[in-house]
Amino acid sequence: MKNILFISLFILGLWACSDNDTIVHIDLEPAQAFTFKPIPGGAIMHYTLPADPEIVGIEVRYHDVFGQEITRRSGTSCDSIQLIGFNEEKTGIPAQVTICFYDNRKSQNFDVTFNTKDSGPVTFMKSVEVYPNWDGFTIKYNNPTTTTGMAHVFYLGIDPVSQLPDTILVNSFVLEETDGIESVNYKMKQTIQDPTIVIRVEDFRGYMVNEKVWPTVKSLHAGLLNPAEFTFFCDRSVEHEKHKLGAKYLFDGDKKGEILEQLENRKKCCSFAAGPNSAGEEAVPMYLDLKKNRPIAFFRIYNLFNYEYSPSWEDRSEPGGMNLIYLDNSNEIPCEVTLYGLKDDHQTSTTFEVIDKMENWVKLGTFKQNKDLPMKQRWCKSAQGTYPKRTISEIRTMDEEYLEIIIPSVDQEEGYRYVKIVINEVFRHPSLQPGQGNINNHNPYNYVQFHELEIYTEKSE
């Protein structure tokens, strides 16, 4: 028994000696060896280590914004280490730096302090603003470089399951650097007068950072503008009565192609096409004259569904007939559209030539999808080029497919009288890869095809 007790005391003595030996005292001036640069949400510590081959790295310990102890480590192959875990800008944060050696030996602790800048989520919350918009709202923000984190956008509505008041998630998105002020438009599925908007942000570690509430954001409502109240101008509209192709079909109210069920319309177009040179870098624009300044809410163009009575788009029986489009229209449908607006110039009437010479257009909005998207991901996913062809019964149960540009109400003031429509690009035929296929499938003359056009403006009280 005495022997066992003696051995135990001997081992404890050795451990105590070993523990003391692990601390290596270094003659070091912390202010010269360790320098700090504040960054969003933390700091960068630059360090210069003694020229000792047994040194393997460095360790920094401090407490983050939540009071949790954080340990950051780096090796001798680097000369800096990032300190993380902060939100608002702070100064004089204490930390301890330790130099690490082989065999788990460490130097004494060196006391240091560092400063931080506002983190990405904090900067976002300082810049973000909420504005009224059509059947929803708009948020605007400006994020600097190195911004990280996540934002969640809600409105106060009714939970569809419990039927009790609750926050309804509209969108979540990653915070990243913006090129100037970013503007995002949201529509609400629930009709709520003057809704309350809530935005929450979290850091890249998943911790909630802040929340901001905008009560009673003004509701703005829009309605479809009757075609009798505006004029459409297109210098390149393909007008062909035999095949029922022309600008007038843009405003007949048929949004999917159901009109083709009528016996006299079967295998006809009852639709709109424009060209040549109606898309691309040298595209000839189309124009709307709204007759007076109007706050503009939405612009939509609709897709003609692939239908059992769809046109062939090809008629070689007469020159200049339907030889514009090869096989189907899927490579004439717009994938990138930009709208521009111009205030009333007090002219009582106008023409395409007059509007086309006007200057100082203001960009209102853009819609863009990749021209090589798979058909199922395109806004016009049920266009010709998809199989099988739909029956009229199927089409009636399907949702309309449209390209939509929302024009924020902010800064519109009294609105715009003239609208310029520029088709920047059209989709590639879904059967082709870039650089493959015959010349017709590549739409070399930049024709454009869509089925219906709508413009929505502010509803009159």
What's the rounded Cα separation, in Å, for the pair 152 and 199? 6
Contact 398, 269 (CB under 8 A): no
CA 63 to chain centre: 36
251 and 375 share a domain?
yes
- What domain count does the chain have? 3
Those residues whose C-beta lies under 8 Å from the C-beta of residue 415, and which sit 6 or more positions away, are 293, 294, 295, 296, 341, 457, 458
pLDDT at 23: 87
CATH number at 346 reads: 2.60.120.260
In DSSP notation, 31-100 reads HHHEEEEEEBTEEEEEE---S-TTEEEEEEEEE-TTS-EEEEEEETT-SEEEE----S----EEEEEEEE
Q: Give the closest residue to 356 by CA, choosing from 370, 342, 376, 375.
A: 342
Domain finish residue from 114, 141, 161 = 114
231 and 191 share a domain?
no
336 and 196 share a domain?
no
410 and 274 share a domain?
yes
259 and 183 share a domain?
no
312 and 168 share a domain?
no
173 and 281 share a domain?
no
pTM: 0.72
Domain finish residue from 94, 114, 134 = 114
Q: What residue numbers bound the domain in which 197 lies?
A: 120-214
322 and 386 share a domain?
yes
Give the residues across from 97 on adjacent strands.
60, 110
pLDDT string in tens for the chain (461-residue length): 444 433 333 333 333 333 445 788 988 899 999 999 999 999 999 999 999 999 999 999 999 999 999 999 999 999 999 999 999 999 999 999 999 999 889 999 999 999 999 999 999 999 999 999 998 999 999 998 888 999 999 999 999 999 999 999 999 999 999 999 998 989 888 989 999 999 999 998 889 999 999 999 998 989 999 999 999 999 999 988 888 889 999 999 999 988 888 887 787 888 999 999 999 999 999 999 999 999 999 999 999 988 877 776 655 555 444 455 555 788 899 999 999 999 998 887 789 999 999 999 999 999 999 999 999 999 999 887 666 778 888 888 899 999 999 998 988 989 999 999 999 999 988 776 665 555 555 788 899 999 999 999 998 75
Domain finish residue from 171, 198, 214 = 214
Q: Is the peptide bond before 276 cis (omega within 30 degrees of 0)?
A: yes
CATH number at 98 reads: 2.60.40.10
Residues in the chain: 461
CA 280 to chain centre: 23
CATH number at 184 reads: 2.60.40
294 and 377 share a domain?
yes
